[in-house]
Structure 1
Amino acid sequence: MLPAPPAAPIRPVADPAGFCISSLARIRALGLSSQQALGNHSRRAVVITLTDKASDKVSELIEAENEEGLSLRVAVRPGGCSGFSYEMYFDTDVADSDTTATFGAVQVVVDPSSAMLLEGATLDYSDSLQSAGFSIDNPNAQRTCGCGQSFS
């Protein structure tokens, strides 16, 4: 059973180019260094890694919020056309049961239920002529929907 969303207001991650999370199951090698892959972590092993581009963009978005102590929470919730969908938002609360990892200036937080579905995933950011936004490469996703925002 997945935990209920936090009672505090959720700040969705957004950027001027438009927020997009899509699964990139076809991309397996993102060229991460061992430091990037491991991150500076606490509370169990790293669940999800951030590429340098993703870390830089999230850091920029957190800075724009102008609030101390914000972390990026990555979660998986029931929903979407394939069974599960990704959620990303800024959060100031970190539970003892959460897994955390730091990539550059960004602390990433994952709840225990989501950790099982995100283990080994990579968050990337791209800004090209065709698209701009975040994408999650999740080795646990057996299939994704056409929009790329949900998986099973």
Structure 2
Amino acid sequence: MSGYMNLWLNYRATEDLFMKHLELVEDKPFELHFAYNSFIKLYSMHLIQPDAAEKLVAVCIKDIELFPRFKESWHERNPTYGFLPFIPSFKTLIIFYENKQRFYEAIDICNAALEYELTDGTKGGYPGRLARLERKLENQLKES
């Protein structure tokens, strides 16, 4: 197995390495977004760790709050691009909340993604995801 893969498998060592990098980019929205993406991947891979779920939610929220500044930075660096890269924090957090049956929170994040006109890489996109979440919330409310 490659050293790169071994690093990803070592939760604490990888997190420590990412934390050091985070300190270098914390005032740079463009780089900070991609640093957050690394944390999202790490915590998603290691949800068995007792603190990973809480940290996953926290970093997704930070990236979502950063998004307007990242978007501006992205367009400054890529003025001829008519698109944004995929922003995993929205989809990841929606799925996390949906799996926990926290539909109000999932709907809020989905609405934010729609306001920013983001795509999630699926056929139905965020509009389809929102409709599904609303149905699940309605069913949950009927059952209680």
Q: Tell me if both proteins adopt one fold, taking TM over 0.5 as the criterion.
A: no
Q: Whose helix proportion is higher, 1 or 2?
A: 2
Between structure 1 and structure 2, the one with the greater Rg is 2
Q: Could you state the TM-score of these two structures normalised by the residue count of structure 2?
A: 0.27
